[in-house]
């Protein structure tokens, strides 16, 4: 029977992971995040253009503004709490076990759909080469399965085979190295920059872009634009990589704000640039037809360089999207391991392979769920669109809880040093201490909530599958906690202050550690004075 309390250091990472912090440079940290976030435009470009048509670039820009606020919130939290877990940990710390679990469930939905969505997108770019090899278009028949029809069956089968291959790699403990990520990310940035520069110089027609904008004013309904706007958030999903970078960084207070802010604005610029370039090179209907490989289509239509740029962009898209699918498998296993340590789910999920020492159960469980999502999505005419529906639901739900946690932690834990703070803060005196209220946090919460309710209103499948996933997981949570005599709505006792000191020590943030001890000593001194007690003989800053 599980205990009602867990060790305070339960979420502190093992010593071998702490050592990884010292191997990640500023460039490596940036590329580690870009390999995850930067791949999303390969998937989202075709989906958003097909939904919002000529207004796609405006949908990307609107979603991008919300994304910037999300990124700034993650930057503050990741530099203040440099531990793994991301949004799940921030919600747990700020809102308690129940909402921390909900945030974890939302992220697990994202990671599961991440596996499916990026596997499908990866094989979509693989199939770009089919006409060049066999000299005719890729076959896309519909298989009749009795009461159901399977759309794009070849893509479904290829995606499931790719997931199976990634499962085999992860069980054996094989993963892409940091150096490989840096090289691939650098090539991707150069390729995307080249497509944008040569595309605008040699192929972009401003009159075509303007005409598609004008046509969208008359043909695109508010519901269509809202649907495209909600899908555009897919191109910015992946901000959990910022918190993962904090775990791998030696001096997160210095490194994380620099790399995160650069990553945020790089992805935003690329997303807006690609959407405007695409609508100025080809009619939006072309991207609807080639929804599986939009970046390759765009590169292929650049004069002179198109015959090289198109296939190269397709190969790069196929590779980087496969890595993103693989990161979904690894992230799901890491998150479930953390949630198991924190007493949110069963220790069953912590089991490792006897030979390879990898979390084999979570790898197989969530990869199988991803493969099932591919199969079920194949029963709808829009394979990628269906997966995107569920992806947006999980992301926005998790981001809502992150913003609420950001705001509440400013009041609940004003003593933890924050090397970076989101802009637009309003000072508010709480006793003898000044708390800075993050106005941008409220604006971001409003923006993400707008996308969340737009997803519910416009995504027919997402508003059924997403809440069903959450409710199913909540049923498991209630069963598990009651069975092990743990509170359902209340939190287990944890020594957050001791944990924070250990985290700052392992991250080698000794200046922040000293600031934290001094702040806690000042708080204790104030409490003793209010209660009429004598000050302790030993200063807390010297003896925590």
CA angle 372–375–379, rounded 5-degree value: 135
Statement to judge: residues 403 and 532 lie in one domain: no
* 337-394 tens-digit pLDDT: 778 878 899 888 877 777 766 778 888 988 999 999 999 888 888 888 888 888 888 8
- Is it the case that residue 481 has pLDDT exceeding 80? yes
pLDDT the model gives residue 541 = 44
Mean pLDDT, the chain, integer: 83
Spatial neighbors of 368 by CB under 8 A, at least 6 apart, are: none
Statement to judge: residues 200 and 302 lie in one domain: yes
Q: Give the structural domain span for 129.
A: 16-478
* 490-510 tens-digit pLDDT: 999 999 999 899 888 888 889
Q: Is 7 a member of any domain?
A: no
Statement to judge: residues 160 and 239 lie in one domain: yes
Statement to judge: residues 215 and 138 lie in one domain: yes
Statement to judge: residues 473 and 520 lie in one domain: no
Statement to judge: residues 395 and 538 lie in one domain: no
pLDDT the model gives residue 284 = 95
| CB-based contact 23:29 (threshold 8 Å) | no
* 168-212 tens-digit pLDDT: 887 876 544 455 556 767 788 888 899 999 999 999 999 999 999
Q: Is 211 a member of any domain?
A: yes
Percent composition of the chain: helix, strand, coil (DSSP 3-state, to 5): 75, 5, 25
| CB-based contact 195:298 (threshold 8 Å) | yes
Statement to judge: residues 197 and 294 lie in one domain: yes
Copy the structure tokens of residue 397.
């739900």
Work out the average pLDDT over 70-95. 89
Q: Is 525 a member of any domain?
A: yes
Give the count of domains, the chain.
2
Q: Which of 154, 113, 137 is nearest to 370 (CA)?
A: 113
Q: Is 408 a member of any domain?
A: yes
Work out the average pLDDT over 528-543. 62
pLDDT the model gives residue 542 = 45
Statement to judge: residues 325 and 425 lie in one domain: yes
Statement to judge: residues 137 and 280 lie in one domain: yes
Q: Is 493 a member of any domain?
A: no
pLDDT the model gives residue 201 = 93
Provide the whole-model pTM: 0.85
Statement to judge: residues 209 and 353 lie in one domain: yes
Q: Is 486 a member of any domain?
A: no
pLDDT the model gives residue 276 = 96
Q: How confident is the model at residue 410 (pLDDT cuts 50, 70, 90)?
A: very high
pLDDT the model gives residue 2 = 37
| CB-based contact 243:86 (threshold 8 Å) | yes
Instruction: Decide: helix, strand or coil at residue 406.
Output: helix
Statement to judge: residues 542 and 424 lie in one domain: no
Copy the structure tokens of residue 379.
């029963």
Residue 368 CA to residue 380 CA, distance in Å, equals 19
Give 323's Cβ-side CA count (13 Å radius). 27
Q: How confident is the model at residue 13 (pLDDT cuts 50, 70, 90)?
A: very low
- Is it the case that residue 440 has pLDDT exceeding 90? yes
CATH number at residue 460: 1.20.1740.10
Instruction: Decide: helix, strand or coil at residue 142.
Output: strand
Q: Is 4 a member of any domain?
A: no
* 111-144 tens-digit pLDDT: 898 899 889 989 989 888 877 776 666 666 778 7
pLDDT the model gives residue 22 = 38
Range among 39-43, 97-101, 234-238, 334-338 rated most confident: 97-101
Residue 424 CA to residue 468 CA, distance in Å, equals 37
- Is it the case that residue 15 has pLDDT exceeding 70? no
Q: How confident is the model at residue 250 (pLDDT cuts 50, 70, 90)?
A: low
pLDDT the model gives residue 4 = 38
Q: How confident is the model at residue 536 (pLDDT cuts 50, 70, 90)?
A: low
Please give the residue that has the higher pLDDT: either 236 or 5: 236
Statement to judge: residues 31 and 75 lie in one domain: yes
Residue 108 CA to residue 99 CA, distance in Å, equals 14
Q: Whats the size of the chain, residue-wise?
A: 544
Q: Which of 442, 413, 477, 358 is nearest to 105 (CA)?
A: 477
Q: Which of 343, 245, 376, 294 is nearest to 6 (CA)?
A: 343
Ranges of beta strands (E only) in 56-205 are 142-145, 148-151
Work out the average pLDDT over 63-90. 89
Q: Is 465 a member of any domain?
A: yes
Please give the residue that has the higher pLDDT: either 347 or 516: 516
């Amino acid at each position: 029977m599980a205990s009602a309390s867990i060790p305070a250091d339960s979420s502190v990472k093992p010593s071998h992971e702490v050592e990884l912090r010292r191997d990640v440079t500023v460039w490596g940290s940036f590329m580690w995040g870009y390999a995850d976030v930067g791949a999303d435009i390969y998937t989202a470009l075709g989906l958003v253009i097909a939904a919002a048509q000529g207004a796609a670039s405006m949908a990307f820009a609107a979603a991008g503004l919300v994304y910037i606020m999300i990124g700034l919130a993650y930057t503050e939290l990741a530099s203040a709490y440099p531990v793994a877990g991301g949004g799940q940990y921030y919600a747990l710390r700020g809102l308690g076990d129940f909402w921390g679990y909900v945030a974890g469930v939302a992220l697990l939905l994202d990671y599961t759909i991440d596996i499916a969505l990026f596997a499908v997108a990866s094989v979509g770019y693989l199939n770009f080469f089919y006409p060049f090899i066999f000299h005719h278009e890729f076959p896309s028949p519909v298989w009749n399965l009795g009461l159901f029809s399977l759309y794009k069956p070849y893509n479904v089968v290829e995606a499931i085979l790719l997931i199976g291959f990634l499962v085999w790699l992860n069980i054996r403990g094989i993963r892409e190295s940091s150096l490989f990520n840096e090289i691939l990310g650098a090539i991707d940035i150069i390729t995307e920059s080249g497509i944008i520069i040569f595309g605008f110089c040699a192929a972009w027609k401003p009159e075509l872009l303007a005409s598609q904008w004008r046509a969208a004013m008359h043909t695109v309904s508010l519901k269509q634009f809202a649907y495209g706007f909600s899908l555009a958030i897919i191109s910015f999903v992946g901000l959990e990589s910022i918190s993962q970078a904090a775990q791998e960084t030696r001096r997160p207070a210095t490194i994380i704000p620099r790399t995160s802010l650069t990553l945020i604005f790089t992805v935003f610029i690329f997303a807006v640039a690609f959407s405007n370039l695409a609508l100025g090179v080809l009619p939006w209907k072309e991207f609807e037809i080639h929804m599986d490989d939009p970046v390759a289509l765009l590169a292929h239509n650049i004069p002179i360089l198109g015959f090289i740029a198109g296939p190269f962009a397709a190969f790069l898209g196929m590779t980087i999207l496969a890595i993103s699918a693989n990161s979904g498998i690894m992230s799901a296993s890491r998150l479930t391991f953390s949630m198991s340590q924190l007493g949110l789910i069963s220790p069953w999920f912590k089991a490792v392979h006897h030979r390879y020492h990898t979390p084999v159960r979570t790898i197989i469980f969530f990869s199988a769920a991803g493969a099932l999502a591919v199969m079920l999505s194949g029963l709808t005419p829009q394979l990628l669109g269906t997966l995107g529906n569920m992806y947006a639901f999980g992301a926005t739900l998790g981001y809502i809880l992150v913003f609420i946690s950001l705001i509440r932690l400013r009041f609940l834990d004003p003593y933890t040093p924050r090397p970076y703070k989101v802009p637009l803060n309003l000072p508010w005196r709480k006793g003898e201490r000044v708390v800075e209220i993050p106005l941008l946090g409220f604006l971001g919460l409003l923006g993400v909530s707008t996308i969340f309710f737009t997803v519910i209103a416009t995504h027919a499948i997402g508003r059924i599958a997403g809440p069903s996933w959450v409710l199913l997981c909540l049923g498991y949570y209630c069963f598990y906690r009651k069975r092990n005599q743990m509170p359902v709505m209340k939190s287990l006792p944890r020594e957050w202050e001791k944990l924070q000191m250990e985290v700052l020590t392992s991250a080698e943030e000794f200046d922040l550690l000293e600031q934290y001890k001094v702040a806690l000593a000042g708080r204790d001194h104030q409490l003793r004075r209010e209660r009429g007690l004598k000050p302790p003989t030993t200063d807390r800053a010297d003896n925590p």
